[in-house]
Structure 1
Amino acid sequence: QSSAGFISLWFTADSVSVSLSGVHIAQMMYGCEWDDETGATNGFNQQGYDGEDWISFDLKTLTWIAPTPQAVITKHKWEREAGRNEYWKNYLTQECIDWLKKYVDYGRMSLLQKTPSSPVTCHASGFYPNKIMLFWRRDGEEVHEDVDHGEILHNHDGTFQKSIDLDVSSVKAEDWGRYSCVFQLSGDKNDIVTKLDPKVIKTNWGRTEIKRDGGGKNTFLLIVLCWIISLYHFVVI
Structure 2
Amino acid sequence: METWTLSLLLLSLHGAAAVIHSMKYFDTASSGLPNFPEYVIVGLVDELQIVHYDSNTRRAEPKQDWMIRVREEDPEYWKRQTELYFIYQQVSKDNIEEAKQRFNQTGGVHIYQRMGGCEWDDETNKVVRGFYQHGFDGEDFISFDMKTGTWIAPKQQAFISKHMWDQNKAQTAQINHYLTQICREWLKIFVKYGSSSLMRTELPLVSLLQKSPSSPVCCHATGFYPDRASLFWRKDGEELHEDVDHGEILHNHDGTFQMSVDLNLSSVPAEDWRRYECVFQLSGVEKNIVTRLDEAVIRTNAEKPNDMTINTTTIIIIIIIIAAVVVLVLAVGGFMAYKKRKDKDSQTNVKTPLNPSPPMSESGSECSSTEGVNSSKPLMS
Structure number having the greater strand percentage:
1
TM-score range, shorter chain: 0.3 to 0.5
